[in-house]
Amino acid sequence: MDLLLVEDKDSFRRLLTQALEGSVWSVRAVADPQEALRALEAGPFQVLVTDLRLPGMSGLELIRRARRLHPGLRVVLMSAFGEPKDIVEAMRLGADDFLPKPFDLDALLALLDRLRALVGAPPPDPAEPWVAHSPAMQALDASLRQAAGSELPVVFQGERGSGRERCARRLHVLRDPAAPYLSLPAAALGPEGPDPHLLQLLEGGTLFLSGLEHLAPAAAAPLARAMEGPAGRRLAWMGGLDTGGRLHPEVAQHLGALVLNVPPLRERREDLLALTRLLLDQAARREGRPAPWLERGAERQLLDHAWPGNVRELEVLVGRTLLFCEGHGIRAFPDLGLGLAAPLCLPWPDSAGGLDAMLKAVTRAAEAQLLNRAVGEACGDLPQAAEALGLTVRTLAQRLRDHGIPLEDRGAAPAEGGDVLPRKVP
């Protein structure tokens, strides 16, 4: 993982760089905040560690600009002169922690280990909307709040596209919103089971296994052993199971303690219009345009539709409709239920690298859209999507991760100066 260190004192910068040699971190150390910004513009870093007082620019201003370039950047501020107001401002700007100098090297390494977990398995956004106006969703929400007070493994059972993974994110946030969270397709687990290093990375967090009905029989026993192992006992386990699906008996003994049913969209029609407006607003903001409103005819269409594809179907419909919507309102959904595919729309690539670079950029953008559409048409069923694309489930899962496409059931919607001390650094 790539770490950018910004410290203008040469001896201290060298000390920290040496302390991280041979670790999982690839360190780029600079003294000038302007040079740091140029490095951030040239490529992504996972973590920024910066001093507060820097030549020509404060660490706070650097954090502000760095987070603008990379919103997901993890940040540590360090200083011997940090005032409470500086610390508060750093946290407001998105810093993860503050280290007052002098500090133990071990404290820095422990902090970086925690940030590495959050980089590899970022926690869900606690502000992610949760629509629960219907009696069915209010009952589920009450169950989630009860489950949040326990450490029981939870299985969310429901139809594809109904929002099982969204429910898991909701429960994770209710339990510990700052802990690491990772979603993996159960079909991608082989006979060796979950990666032990991955389980260690998730310590204190949550692992959600989607599509448990597709778990290979050979992976059941290794998964059960992993859940009972030392690393497995230090994280929360959740899973998604299709309606009518069955857990392997060995897995059921460990993961089936609490099963919560996720209602399909047709059973929560009180949520339908609120969900639609939310999805329209999110899609419009991504395109930098105002969200159109729903006219009465469009609302009636939504309420009269059977929604066999659940919330995922609604997401696809909203995206497709917004693509062709030219006015300020949506009067009707002309392709509702007709299964019409939206055209492949690709962004114009940067011409700085010439034609070859442009073609590579277009190919990558097209691949992302094709993968996303294939998963959407399969209602989140990775084995089905993999078969349609002629890929293995593992290969599909890896390509989705490479493009930053969530492996989930996307449904519910939507710190200066000083001398070095023994085992401490200034």
pLDDT in tens, 83-129: 788 889 988 888 889 998 888 888 899 899 889 988 888 999 898 99
Binned at pLDDT 50, 70 and 90, residue 191 comes out as very high
Tell me the C-alpha distance between 42 and 2, whole Å: 13
**Cβ neighbours for 111, distance < 8 A, ≥ 6 positions apart:** 76, 97, 99
Question: What is the arrangement of strands in the sheet containing 97-100, beginning at the earlier edge strand?
Answer: 26-30, 2-6, 47-51, 74-79, 97-100
339 pLDDT more than 70: no
Q: Average model confidence (pLDDT) for the chain?
A: 87
Binned at pLDDT 50, 70 and 90, residue 342 comes out as low
425 pLDDT more than 70: no
Of 21-35, 41-55, 288-302, 311-325, the one with minimum mean pLDDT is: 311-325
CA distance to 3, 179, 290, 315, per residue, from 328 (Å)? 45, 41, 8, 19
- Per-residue pLDDT at 420: 31
Tell me the C-alpha distance between 244 and 157, whole Å: 9
Q: Are the CB atoms for 123 and 177 separated by under 8 Å?
A: yes
In the chain, the amino acid numbered 341 is: A
Binned at pLDDT 50, 70 and 90, residue 379 comes out as low
What element of type H or E holds 184? strand 181-185
- Per-residue pLDDT at 422: 33
Report the top-level CATH class of 135-265: alpha beta
Share of the chain above pLDDT 90, in %: 54
CA distance to 69, 145, 182, 410, per residue, from 401 (Å)? 21, 30, 11, 15
- Mean per-residue pLDDT, 345-355: 79
HSE, side-chain direction, 13 A CA sphere, residue 10:
0
pLDDT in tens, 354-371: 888 888 888 988 898 888
pTM of the prediction? 0.74
CATH number of the 2-120 domain: 3.40.50.2300
Q: Which residue has the higher pLDDT, 323 or 31?
A: 31
Token pair for 379? 């209602």
CA distance to 3, 35, 151, 271, per residue, from 302 (Å)? 48, 53, 38, 11
- Per-residue pLDDT at 411: 38
Tell me the C-alpha distance between 145 and 170, whole Å: 9
pLDDT in tens, 214-238: 999 999 999 999 999 999 999 999 9
Tell me the C-alpha distance between 333 and 324, whole Å: 11
Q: For strand 47-51 and strand 206-210, is the pairing parallel, antiparallel, or unpaired?
A: unpaired
Given the candidates 3.40.640.10, 2.40.50.140, 1.10.8.60, 1.20.58.760, the CATH classification of the domain at 270-330 is: 1.10.8.60
308 pLDDT more than 60: yes
Binned at pLDDT 50, 70 and 90, residue 169 comes out as very high
What are the φ and ψ backbone dihedral angles of 31, each rounded to 5 degrees? -100, -25
Token match 């967090």: residue?
205
Tell me the C-alpha distance between 164 and 409, whole Å: 6
